[in-house]
Amino acid sequence: MRELTEKEAEDFLEKQGFDVVKRALIKSKQELAKLEKQIKFPWAMKVSSKDINHKMKLGGVILNIKTQKEAERAFEKLSQIKGFEQAMVQEMLSGEELILGIKKTPEFNQVIMLGAGGSNVEQKKDVSFRVLPINKEDTKQMLEELKIYNQIKDKVHVELILQNLLKLSNFAEKNPNMQELDINPLMINKNQAEIVDARIVFE
């Protein structure tokens, strides 16, 4: 069993044609000054380590960083977390948050999931599942089964969600040794659907 770090998972998905938020990994506070030219404020900053899976629970995610001073304070705070290796700095996005996932099960092999995303996914319990592979009709049905479907008015946003589900189905077929994949959130914003956080486990 091999679990990719967030950086590895996001780089891997980007190479497969998924859109991923602008990001950079840093190991020291001094590197923050260079990032302002690459990533516009506000930022999100997260602890990054192969030994840390549940960043939120550990206070390892700091949002809405608007200045270099705030960024320095955020880095200092994250560097105190046990197991800290690096910090991931990302452009802070807003929009509709969705969760997409793949899980290998003994009964059905690979299963795909779509749901309302964000930090309180367990409380929302708004998800839909299908056995892979899926087609365009399946993706429409999955989206329509969600409670949040009525909130997604924009046809472009609907199309982006359906495209990403089909892309994920194809990705799973090409990677039959994938045990688990979580994209949370996939942020739907204007005419873009960007991955903000991802994790992948291979057998």
Q: What is the edge-to-edge ordering of all strands in the sheet holding 86-91?
A: 23-26, 86-91, 43-48, 61-65
pLDDT digits (tens, 9 = 90+) for 151-175: 998 999 999 999 999 999 999 999 9
Contact between 191 and 163 under an 8 Å Cβ cutoff? The reply is no
pLDDT digits (tens, 9 = 90+) for 83-111: 999 999 999 999 999 999 999 999 999 99
| The two structure tokens encoding residue 72 | 């320095």
Its sign, for the CA torsion 57, 100, 88, 194, is negative
| Architecture of the structural domain at 96-202 | 2-Layer Sandwich (3.30)
What does the domain layout of the chain look like in residue ranges?
22-91, 96-202
Structure confidence at residue 68 (pLDDT): 96
In CATH, the number for domain 22-91 is 3.30.1490.20
Contact between 18 and 160 under an 8 Å Cβ cutoff? The reply is no
Residue 9: which of 184, 187, 191, 192 has the closest Cα?
184
Instruction: Find the mean pLDDT for residues 75-84.
Output: 95
